[in-house]
Structure 1
Amino acid sequence: MSFLFKRPGAGAQFQVVDAAGYRSQFVESQADHVLVDVRTPGEYRDGHVPGAVNIPLEKLGARLSEVPQDKPVVLVCASGNRSASAAEQLVTAGYSEVYNLKGGTMRWMMNGFPIEK
C-alpha cells in the first residue's frame, strides 16, 4: 500500500509505501527501481533490505549522480525519518517518482522479511 505524502508547509511530495506494499509492488513484481538505504555505513553493514545501495543521508546531496532519475527511487532508513528527509531532498532536486519505506528496516524485519549482511 502506498499513499502520497506532503508535509505541511513543504513543497516536496513523495509517496509512502509500507513494507508489505514495497515487497509486492517492487520486489515480487520485479519492477525496475532503485532502493537507497540512507543509514550510516555501520548500520547498513549490520543488515539491510536486499538490493539496497548505501548512500548515507548526509552524503546524498553530493552523490545525487548515483541515483537515476528515470526510475522509481525507494528510500529506507531504520525507522522512516531519515528516509523521509531524503525523499524530500530528491523531490526538491527534480525526482518525480520517490517513495519512503514506512517504518524502515525495523518494520521490514518485524514483518519477517529477509535482511542481507
Structure 2
Amino acid sequence: MFGRNQVPGVGADEVPAEAYLLDVREDDEWAAGHAPDARHMPMHTVPARLDEIPTDGDVVVVCRSGGRSAQVVAYLLAAGRDNVRNLDGGMMAWARAGRPMISEDGGAPQVA
C-alpha cells in the first residue's frame, strides 16, 4: 500500500470550492463535525460504493489527520482514478485553517 507521502495531496486552504469532498471517517466522527458540502462514506464502505465517487472533477478525500484518507486515495489511484487527492492534515488541518464546519448532533462542530 502507498504511504501518506506518496499520494497527491492538497492543503486545507487550497481545496477548490467546487471539489467533491469525500469524508471517510466513522459515523461518530462525522456527526461531531464535518465540512458543510462533504459527502460521508466510511472508509470500509468505499470499495462497495466506488460508483458513487465522481470520475471527473476534483475529488478530495479527508479523514481526521490524513492517514486513512491517504489509504483511500491510494486505493482509488490503483482503481484507475486520476482525479483524487488527499486533504493533507485531514479535518484537523481544515479546522485549524478556519474552514467552515457543521455538526449532525446540534452541538458546536468539532474534530473528533
- Output the TM-score relative to the length of structure 2: 0.82
Distance 2:89 2:82 in 1: 22
Q: Read off the aligned partner of 1:35 and give its amino acid letter.
A: L
- Output the TM-score relative to the length of structure 1: 0.79
Q: Which residue, out of 101, 105, 108, partners 2:87? A: 101
The two structures, once aligned, show a CA RMSD in angstroms of 1.7
More strand by share: 1
Q: C-alpha displacement at 1:97, in angstroms?
A: 1.3
SS of match in other structure, 1:75? strand
1:78 and 2:90 equivalent? no
Q: C-alpha displacement at 1:14, in angstroms?
A: 3.8
Distance 1:102 1:69 in 2: 21
Runs (4 or more) in structure 1 with deviation over 6 Å come to: none
Q: Which residue of 2 aligns with 1:10?
A: none
SS of match in other structure, 1:49? coil
Once the two structures are aligned, what percentage of the paired residues are identical? 40
Q: Which residue of 1 aligns with 2:23?
A: 37
SS of match in other structure, 2:85? strand
Distance 2:36 2:59 in 1: 15
Q: Which residue, out of 13, 18, 21, partners 2:11? A: 18
User: Where do 1:49-88 residues align within 5 Å?
Assistant: 49-88=35-74
SS of match in other structure, 2:9? strand
Q: Read off the aligned partner of 1:18 and give its amino acid letter.
A: G
Q: Read off the aligned partner of 1:17 and give its amino acid letter.
A: V
Q: C-alpha displacement at 1:72, in angstroms?
A: 1.7
Deviations 1:58-81 (A, max 9, x none): 111111011011222100000000
Q: Read off the aligned partner of 1:116 and give its amino acid letter.
A: I
Q: What count of residue pairs does the alignment treat as equivalent?
A: 101
Distance 1:106 1:14 in 2: 19
